[in-house]
Structures are given as structure tokens and as C-alpha cells.
Amino acid sequence: MSDTITMRHPTLPSDQEIEVPRDAMPHYTAAGWQQVPAEELEKRAAAKAKTEAEAAAAEEEAGREPQAADEPEQSEPAESTERPARSRARHEKKGE
């Protein structure tokens, strides 16, 4: 069983949820938070798995390997347009 639970507050949008440690549940329920039903979480997980499987199958049919969505593309860093920092040395006055 998981050490965290998913909760939502009735005054917030239904898709705005938080994960909290199971031991902290009494603190959150006292503030009005409600646990998201396990059936709803299971339906979401099944729908997500189905979508990912369909996407992987579509990519295989296209003749290429599936790419991980988490990996950002590597690109060269842009050249900096910032000016170099000014010297902190004090300028001598002409009369001295």
C-alpha cells in the first residue's frame, strides 16, 4: 500500500489535487480536504496506460522507435548578450 494519498478540497477545481502522507490525513480532513476515491484514481491510471499504449503502437506502425516524452532535446546554449560586469576598482580623481 502507498505511503501517500491523493486529496482535493471542495472549494478548489476538481483537478487541483495534492498528495500527502497517509499519516497526515487527519490534519487535512480537519481543514476540509477530502480523499479522492480509489476507484477514480484507478480509472485515471487505466485510461493513461491505454493512451500510452495506443501512442506506442502508432509510433511502431510509423516505423520508428518510441521516444520518451521526458527527455528534452539537446541544443546549443544561446550566446550571451549581456555586457561584462564593470570593474569595482575606484577611479583616481584628476586633482590628486
Number of domains present in the structure of the chain: 1
The answer to whether position 25 is within a domain reads yes
Alpha carbon 51 to chain centroid distance?
19
Q: 46 is in which domain, residue-wise?
A: 4-61
Is 91 a residue whose pLDDT tops 90? no
Give the mean model confidence (pLDDT) for residues 67-74: 61
The answer to whether position 71 is within a domain reads no
Instruction: State how far the Cα of 41 lies from the Cα of 8, in Å rounded to an integer.
Output: 12
Tens of pLDDT along 34-43?
999 999 999 9
The answer to whether position 69 is within a domain reads no
Instruction: State how far the Cα of 84 lies from the Cα of 91, in Å rounded to an integer.
Output: 18
The answer to whether position 89 is within a domain reads no
The answer to whether position 92 is within a domain reads no
Is 6 a residue whose pLDDT tops 90? yes
Give the mean model confidence (pLDDT) for residues 30-58: 93
Q: How confident is the model at residue 60 (pLDDT cuts 50, 70, 90)?
A: confident
